[in-house]
Amino acid sequence: MAQGKARAILHVDMDAFFVSVELLSRPELVGQQVIVGFPGERSVVLSASYECRALGVKSAMPMAVAMRMAPRAVVIKPTHSLYSEYSARIMEIFHQVTPLVEQVSVDEAFLDVTGSIRRLGPPEAIGQMIRVRLRTELGLPASVGLAASKFVAKVASTGAKPDGMLVIRPDQTLSYLHSLPVGVLWGVGAKTAVVLREMGISTVAQLAQTPQETLSRRLGATGVHLHNLAWGLDDRPVESEREEKSIGAEETFAVDLWDEAVLHREILHLGHRVAARLRQAEKVAGVVALKLRYSDFSTLSRSRTLPVPSNAAGDLVAAAEGLLEKLGTRPQAVRLVGIRAEKLGNAGGGMQLSIDPRDDNWRQAEATMDLVRSRFPAGALRPASLLDHGQKEQKPERPS
C-alpha cells in the first residue's frame, strides 16, 4: 500500500451500551451484575455488565445459560426507544467532530479525524475529548481505538475495553498485530479457524509469515484477505453513508410450534413489520428470504426474487408464503420464523406500477397505516387477521 500521509481513524465503541443506558435511571445497580434481555429460556442476552462478563456471560448467549453463570444478576427488559434516543445523541457528538462518520451499529462508529487535526489538535486529544464528552454530557462510558486503518482501530478499541483508549501509531502497527492471536483478524470464523489450526497457525505473526500462495490454496480469496490484514494493509475509507443491505424481522416462539395457522399468522405479522421498515427507509426489496429454525436448532433459509421490487406487505407475505408452501410438510416443530428483505433499491427508482388498481389501493392503505402508527402507540393499527394476535414485545433481531 502506498505510504502517504497517515490517516487518523478512530473506532468508538460504547461499553455495555444497553446496560449503561439502563443504569442512568437505576444508579443503585452500578457495580452489580446486570443483564439486559427478556426473561425466559428462549431469550438471549442483549447486553451484560462487566461484572457479569467476568463470570463468562456474553451477548447473544441463551438467557438460561447466563442465569446459571450469574444467578444473582438483575435482569432488565430492554427499552429500545431509549437506546435509539441515546444512539442519535452519540452520533450527533461524532458529527460535531468530523463529517466522516461511519455508523456500524447502534453503539459504535468509525471516525476519520485526519481533517480535524488542524482545528481540534492531535488525534489522541480528539479521542480523549470524545470520551470526556460522552461521559459528561450523556453519562456513558466508551472505549476508543486510534490507528491508521479501520481494522487496526477496531482491534485497538477492543483492547481498550472497558472505558479506555488505545493508540496504535503507524510504526507500531505490525508489532502490535503480530503479538495477537489469529482470531482477531476479520474473516476468521469457526471454519477458517479450524483450517488455520490444521496449518499450525495460531497467531497473526505466524499467518503473516505464511506465503500468500499457500493461504490462497487452502482458503481461496479469504487467504489473500487475511494475509493483507496480517501485514496491516487496509485502505478502506470511512464511509459516511452506509447502505443497508437487508432488512428483516424474526420471532422465536415460547413453545415449539406445529400449528400451521399460527405459523402463517406470524409470517403475516413479520411481513408487515419488514414492509413498514422498508417504507421508513425508502427502500424496496428485490428478494424475499424465509428463515425457519426447528426444535433441534437446525436452520434453513430459502429466497425468492420478486417480479417487481416492492415494499408492500402483501408482496412480501405472498413470497414468504410461497416459499413455506414449497418446503412441504414440516419434519419438526418450528422454533423460530423470520422474513428478510434483500437486494434493496431506492423506492421510486424502478418500482413498476401495477395495472391492477387493487395493488395501488393496498399501497395507499399501508402508507396510511404507517402514518397512524407514527402518531399513536405501537399496535394501534394492524391487519384484521392479527387482531387476536395480542400485543407482542418488540424484541431486537440482534443483540448489541
> Which pairs with CB-CB distance under 8 Å and at least 24 residues apart come from 85-91?
86/17, 86/21, 86/138, 86/140, 89/137, 89/138, 90/14, 90/134, 90/138, 90/140
In the block, cell 410438510 appears at 329
Backbone Cα Rg of the chain:
24
Please name which of 221, 314, 223 lies closest in space to residue 271, comparing C-alpha atoms: 314
Give the total residue count for the chain. 400
Partners of residue 341 on adjacent β-strands: 247, 288
**130 neighbors 10 (Cβ within 8 angstroms):** yes
- The pair phi, psi for residue 131, each rounded to 5°, is -60, -40
Find out whether 13 is annotated in a ligand binding site: yes
Spot the catalytic one: 108, 250, 266, 366. 108
CA 5 to centroid of chain Cα atoms: 32
Q: How far apart are CA 299 and CA 335, in angstroms?
A: 10
For the record, the C-alpha cell of 217 comes out as 490454496
What does the alpha-carbon distance between residue 35 and residue 47 come to, in Å, rounded to a whole number? 6
Q: Which residues are CB-contacts of 357 (< 8 A; sequence separation ≥ 6)?
A: none
Query: From CA 253, how far away is CA 40, in angstroms rounded?
Result: 11
Q: Is 107 annotated as a binding residue?
A: yes
Eight-state DSSP code of residue 88:
H
Q: Confirm whether 108 is a catalytic residue.
A: yes
- Residue 144: which region, alpha, beta or left (left: phi > 0; alpha: psi -120 to 50)? beta
- Cα separation of 244 and 24, whole Å? 31
Distance CA 289, CA 367 (A): 23
Exposed/middle/buried for 240, CB within 10 Å: 0-12, 13-18, 19+?
Answer: middle
- Backbone conformation region of residue 16, classed left if phi is above 0, alpha if psi is from -120 to 50, else beta: left
Bind-site residues: 13, 107
Bind-site residues for Mg(2+): 13, 107
Q: Which residues are catalytic?
A: 108
